[in-house]
Amino acid sequence: MPKFPQIFLLKCVFLCLFLVNCSPPEDPTKCASRNTNCTITNSYGAFPDRTICQASAVAFPASEEELISVVAKAAMAGTKMKVATRFSHSIPKLVCIDGEDGLLISTRYLNRTLFIDRSAMTISVESGATLRQVINDAAKAGLALPYTPYWWGLTIGGLLSSGAHGSSLWGKGSSVHEYVEQLRIVTPAGLEKGYAEVRTLGTGHEDLNAAKVSIGVLGVISQICWN
């Protein structure tokens, strides 16, 4: 006759195999009419002050070229912009626009792994790629990320911009942004540059440190090369 600990263990296994279920958070961006008259919250369902932020519209660029076009049109019109990630995991209201007439730019479809250089031990991705996707793609090439936060649903651009980190003091430490080799960021510009500019910032560039942990206020990160 099975003992109580064995029965308890069998029940736990049964529950895990047949009754436990999980799913990603709901889309934090919701619009009343297609991509206009929108609201945004975070993956917890509300910000610390229990509010939900508003925006006049949301754009979903699927390439760097489309992102440039979105930023240029908004800059030309003088529209305020903020960057939103796929699951909006940040607890503070970093994504909220001042007022209700701004534009949210979602990196939901900027989610491709672009290139893996096994000899240089680097991986280049678009900023909306999730941590889970990057870990899996790196593993297929026999590589591993040195340090990561705990949740796979974070996007690479989001975790960089908010200074996310793992847990270690070894080497460069566990801050993910310390392992960035290069990034591309789309920023508003003047008429002479078509109202948008792509800046490529590599190791040693004076603006790289600011762009890596910019909490979304310096532009939209489009691509990251990670060591």
Three-state secondary structure call for residue 98:
coil
The string of pLDDT tens digits covering residues 162-186 is: 877 777 666 776 778 888 899 999 9
What integer best gives the mean pLDDT of the chain? Answer: 86
Q: Give me the percent of the chain exceeding a pLDDT of 90.
A: 47
Residue 13 has pLDDT above 80, yes or no: no
> Could you tell me which of 177, 157, 175 has the C-alpha nearest to residue 166?
175
The string of pLDDT tens digits covering residues 21-44 is: 666 677 888 899 888 999 888 887
Instruction: Give the residue-averaged pLDDT of 7-19.
Output: 64
> Could you tell me which of 49, 226, 30, 32 has the C-alpha nearest to residue 138?
226
DSSP assignment of 107-150? -TT---EEEEETTTTEEEEETT-BHHHHHHHHHHTT---S---S
pTM for this entry:
0.85
The string of pLDDT tens digits covering residues 61-117 is: 999 999 999 999 999 999 999 998 888 777 888 888 877 889 999 999 999 999 999
> Could you tell me which of 76, 78, 77, 29 has the C-alpha nearest to residue 57?
29
